[in-house]
Structure 1
Amino acid sequence: MGLAVKSTVPFLKPLFFRLPQLFSTCMSFSLVADMGIHRGSIGNWFMSICCFCFVVTLIILTVELRRLPSEFPFFWYLSNTYACYAALLCLSASIIYSITYVRFLPCGPYQDQAIAATVFSCIASVFYTTEVVKMWEHCKIYKTTCCVLTVPGLLKVLETFTAGIILTFISNTSLYLHQPALEWCVAVYSFCFIPAALAILLNLGEWEYRLPVPFPLFQLVLTLLSILLYVSALVLWPLYQFSEELSGQPQRSRDGDCRDELTYNMCTGDQRRAVAVLTAVSLLVYVADLGDWARQVSVGTEDQPRDS
């Protein structure tokens, strides 16, 4: 049954998912590229996201049309993993681009192009999400599995994605180099990204059962450790970024590059707040992940035979 769903993938996806995804990302890329110097660095970042999704989707479409997935079953897992990340990428790009740049553009053709590009990016996110949902339904019908099309898999995708966005924001070293506590937060974000990404790789390669300890127990311990680390970051990051007593900036307007007008870069104050919000979101995701792994460990313990 698992082979049946994989054999239908090359025919279903190009018709219902790939072409709309290609069209939406291409339109977003083209509209922002046509803005020229008015797109700014934020526009370049948004354009690079759309371009990346377009290129990878085109590669996947080419492989599927040549019916190569039947020869490389692992490709099916990679394409579904990519769809999860592409949905999040397009959605986050739309949100960040609209609230940090588009709303400050003066009324005119450039603002109209930026709004249209944002809409097409949202449409692309919808199609990528629809693909994930449809493949989840196919997995249930045909009794096959894909690590990212499960609750633990999707939670790991969210953990790695939010950590990746946070690491992108803190690439501005001026946010934390002046405080050891903030450097600790950066270390937390970097460290917690590694086991989450490792878990996805282990599942994709079906190597999770080669560990010396049960995989659910392994993930339970790592997730609990990540929660403790994220709790410290959730306390320290806002405390040292927004407290005047600790040399923080409680008001956005006090940052020299933060003004209620059009800027070509995301201002420092917005980066600080984005990291604080994403830290809280990541913590919630890890808590949900901990609950799921705790359930799996308890179920596995109950299923073990007991001595009479």
Structure 2
Amino acid sequence: MPALELNTRSLISPLGVVRFFEVFFACTAFSLVSVYHSYNGSNGVWCMFTWCFCFVVTLLIILVEFIGLAQSLPLSWQDFTSAFSMLAALMTFTTSVVYPSVFIANSCSGRDCAYKGSATAMSCLCFIAYAIEVGLTRAKSGEVSSFLATVPGLLKVFEAYVACLIFSLVDFTKSYRSYAGLQWCVAVYCICFIITMFIIILTVGRCLASLPFPLEKALVAYNFLAVLMYITATFVWPIYSFRDFSRTYACNAGLCREWNNRLGVTFLTIFNLIAYIVDLVYSSKMVFVTTPA
């Protein structure tokens, strides 16, 4: 067993201080919500899971770095922490939007409302803290760093997260079963998500060096293919998804939520298309501009 040495500097560094704030805000958020059990339904469970998940993982990161165990783990610690901070920022941002829109906008009064409002404020502060950590750990220009700390690496986390949001909405609507065009869109979301997650897992697991091809050029080729696929999905999904399914008809038939989910998939597809385009630009710059001939 490797000898452990306490790293007290990790607690008082700017990054360590930010992580303490993350733990405090996340803990306060789920504590306030649990007082009145104000997390019923799938949206409430998601919000509670986000705060608890971020609290537990961040606390583990602080503990691992404090006891000096990070270098002994069989994974790229910097890649893991960079990916998690980006994921946590995205999750807390989503929660900071979803929770008040569901639990405050419709039914809120008295002390219950005050607790919900305070939980929302803590969630927003938690997002800001994680966003600051992303900024602190992001690789600077000309700096040699892990892949997931670079802009393309952070974008990979963003692309995978947005794909998960798309899956949650598509699964609810089940509208993709009606047309082959929508089935193609779901295939695009699945293929890009699987490859992106594969890249993230290989990076965290320190397996990139064992690949039989240059990673940088492979990423450029993959991002180019993903952009083309998402371009088709950006046009095909709304064309088939809203065919004979207007908002007026949907709401009159009691299907407003399904229409909103289809609209949500449309915008999330556009967001991921933009992310893949930016990813392609950065990856191409890293290969064809930064790398000497």
Q: Distance in 2 between matches of 1:113 and 1:269?
A: 32
CA gap of 1:38–1:8, structure 2 versus 1, over 3 A, is: closer
Q: Distance in 2 between matches of 1:207 and 1:174?
A: 37
Q: Indicate yes or no: 2:109 matched with 1:123.
A: no
CA gap of 1:135–1:183, structure 2 versus 1, over 3 A, is: same
AA matched with 2:52: C
Q: Secondary structure at the match of 1:176?
A: helix
CA gap of 1:71–1:214, structure 2 versus 1, over 3 A, is: closer
TM-score by length of 1: 0.82
Q: Distance in 2 between matches of 1:56 and 1:224?
A: 34
Q: What are the within-5 Å matches in structure 2 for residues 58-69 of structure 1?
A: 58-69=59-70
Q: Secondary structure at the match of 1:103?
A: coil
Aligned residues: 285
Contact 2:27 2:55 in 1 (8 A): yes
Q: Indicate yes or no: 2:17 matched with 1:19.
A: no
In structure 1, runs of 5+ residues without a counterpart are: 1-5, 259-266
Q: Indicate yes or no: 2:23 matched with 1:35.
A: no
CA gap of 1:257–1:41, structure 2 versus 1, over 3 A, is: farther
Q: Distance in 1 between matches of 2:191 and 2:233?
A: 12
Q: Distance in 1 between matches of 2:142 and 2:220?
A: 29
> What is the aligned partner in structure 2 of residue 234 from structure 1?
234
**Shift in Å at residue 125 of structure 1?**
0.9
Contact 2:77 2:204 in 1 (8 A): no
Measured against aligned partners, the alpha-carbon deviations of 1:251-273 in whole angstroms (never above 9, x if no partner) come to: 46345153xxxxxxxx3232222
> What is the aligned partner in structure 1 of residue 284 from structure 2?
294
Q: Secondary structure at the match of 1:162?
A: helix
CA gap of 1:199–1:37, structure 2 versus 1, over 3 A, is: closer
CA gap of 1:279–1:141, structure 2 versus 1, over 3 A, is: closer
In structure 2, runs of 5+ residues without a counterpart are: 1-6
Q: What are the within-5 Å matches in structure 2 for residues 1-308 of structure 1?
A: 8-9=9-10, 11-12=12-13, 15-36=16-37, 39-72=40-73, 74-136=76-138, 140=140, 143-172=143-172, 174-244=174-244, 248-251=245-248, 253-254=251-252, 256=254, 258=256, 267-299=257-289, 303-304=292-293
Measured against aligned partners, the alpha-carbon deviations of 1:215-251 in whole angstroms (never above 9, x if no partner) come to: 222111111111121112111221122232xxx2334
Measured against aligned partners, the alpha-carbon deviations of 1:115-140 in whole angstroms (never above 9, x if no partner) come to: 2222111111111111121223xx55
AA matched with 1:250: R
AA matched with 1:107: S
AA matched with 1:103: A
Q: Distance in 2 between matches of 1:142 and 1:152?
A: 15
Contact 2:10 2:16 in 1 (8 A): no
AA matched with 1:271: N
Q: Distance in 1 between matches of 2:34 and 2:204?
A: 36
Q: Distance in 2 between matches of 1:118 and 1:91?
A: 10
Q: Distance in 2 between matches of 1:95 and 1:211?
A: 40
Q: Secondary structure at the match of 2:154?
A: helix
CA gap of 1:14–1:68, structure 2 versus 1, over 3 A, is: farther
Q: Distance in 1 between matches of 2:11 and 2:147?
A: 20
Q: Distance in 2 between matches of 1:222 and 1:144?
A: 23
Contact 1:28 1:116 in 2 (8 A): yes
Q: Distance in 2 between matches of 1:184 and 1:38?
A: 35
CA gap of 1:130–1:255, structure 2 versus 1, over 3 A, is: farther
Contact 2:22 2:126 in 1 (8 A): yes
Q: Distance in 1 between matches of 2:102 and 2:178?
A: 25
CA gap of 1:69–1:209, structure 2 versus 1, over 3 A, is: closer
Of the structure 1 ranges 95-104 and 155-164, higher mean CA displacement relative to structure 2 is found in 95-104
What is the aligned-residue RMSD (CA, Å)?
2.8
**Shift in Å at residue 34 of structure 1?**
2.5
AA matched with 2:104: V
**Shift in Å at residue 100 of structure 1?**
4.2
Q: Secondary structure at the match of 2:201?
A: helix
